[in-house]
Amino acid sequence: MRASHPLKKSATLSKLAGAVLGLVLIAGCKPAGLPDSGSAEAQLYVNRCGNCHAPYNPHEMTASMWDTQVTMMEVKIHQAGMPPLTSDERDAILEYLKRHAGNE
């Protein structure tokens, strides 16, 4: 029987430890869910804004930043040929985002 080389064994253990550490870090970086995710406003936000990108957590921007962001996204919605937000949809989405917005 041939003895394994100590450096190969050490390299294999290092790779295994690195893989385990990577999985632990990835599992710990799971994004937090949206606040009040079961509400009609949150679902509207996910359905309308989640068509093109993952919806951002409202805490990531301030209320005034959300005003600007939604206006900018309405231009992108138009450019993409998607149906525009109705005034009721816009109001509901902004109300949801501002209610859960981060601090200024």
pLDDT digits (tens, 9 = 90+) for 50-102: 988 999 999 999 999 999 999 999 999 999 999 999 999 999 999 999 999 99
Q: Round to whole Å and give the CA distance between 97 and 25.
A: 29
Token pair listed for 15: 């790779």
Cα 1 to its chain centre, rounded Å, is 53
Could you give the C-alpha distances from 15 to 25, 26, 59, 60, in angstroms and in order? 15, 16, 37, 36
Residues 13-50 pLDDT 10s: 566 555 544 444 444 444 569 999 999 999 999 999 99
